[in-house]
Amino acid sequence: MNRLEPDSKSEFDRYAGSYEEALQSGLRVSGEDSDYFAKGRMEWLRYRIGCRNPSEELKSGMDFGCGTGNSICHLSNILGLTNIVGLDTSEESLHQARRRYSQSNFSFANPFAFRPSGDLDIVFCNGVFHHIPIEARPKAFEVIHSSLRQGGWFAFWENNPWNPGTRYVMSRIPFDRDAITLSIPNAKQLIVDNKFRVLSIDTRFYFPRAVKWMRPFERWLCKLPFGAQYLVLAQKPKEPSP
């Protein structure tokens, strides 16, 4: 997803058929494929939500900027979601996602055709906002905020521009070269400005496969601002009782 403008053709339409290949061309320097990072993001998210509320049971959610649907299976298998909606402005990407996931509990839509019902448990978003023009970001937050129930979770994953490896990987990926990256302070302020309560901020993915024996130490590095990606875990506040 790169824009939130009605009737605009997404640049990702031309990458829908080769998205995974282009992504892997950048990630190859890490020694891992995209699924390694996708699983890692979801496992850390599950851990973080468990830290905040061990009894939380998530059932419904959204993948905002779902692309061709690479995170859908992890939202289901790792987070345990039984009903998932994926939103994206790329119609070609949505077409591929629908072919991959034809089950009735998975649905996909353009954000302009989607009508939020304010009942979702969680919205997941990975590497999307650096493709959305700054002036269009508030519209994206409107969709996300309106989709969540009170107390619902917002998992905001982004590429960390303070990590030189991240900048190098993005320079190798055609659709990331012109991205407008967000630093951790920028992201936190943006999320707060759009009516969310920030609960925690973590960074992940410090060590490439060549030194994977060091990865157990990442748990203790998560509060340093230098991992390849970061997670801002936020919540839609509950309105006070009248």
Q: Is the pLDDT of residue 100 over 50?
A: yes
Residue 193: exposed, middle, or buried by beta-carbon count in 10 A (0-12, 13-18, 19+)? exposed
Residue 155 bridge partners (DSSP): 124, 233
pLDDT digits (tens, 9 = 90+) for 6-31: 444 566 776 666 677 777 777 888 99
Question: Please, where are the H alpha helices in the chain?
Answer: 19-27, 34-52, 72-77, 91-100, 137-147, 164-172, 184-193, 218-221
Q: Which domains does the chain have, with CATH numbers?
A: 23-235 (3.40.50.150)
- Only one residue has tokens 């990407």, namely 93
Report how far Cα 159 is from the mean position of its chain's Cα atoms. 10
Determine the average pLDDT of the residues in 178-188.
96
With CA atoms as reference, report the closest residue to 87 among 61, 117, 118.
Answer: 61
Q: Which of 223, 235, 29 is nearest to 121 (CA)?
A: 235
- Whats the size of the chain, residue-wise? 242
Which pLDDT does position 15 carry in this prediction?
A: 63
Element at 232 (helix H, strand E): strand 229-235
Closest alpha carbon to 3 in 187, 97, 137:
137
Q: What is the pLDDT of residues 38-56, one digit of tens each?
A: 999 999 999 999 999 988 8
Query: How many CA atoms lie within 13 Å of 106's alpha carbon, on the beta-carbon side?
Result: 21
- For residue 216, the one-letter residue type is P
**Residues in CB range of 5: below 8 A, 6 or more apart:** 136
pLDDT, tens digit, 9 for 90 and up, residues 26-41: 788 899 999 999 999 9
Contact 32, 46 (CB under 8 A): no
In the chain, % of residues over pLDDT 90: 81
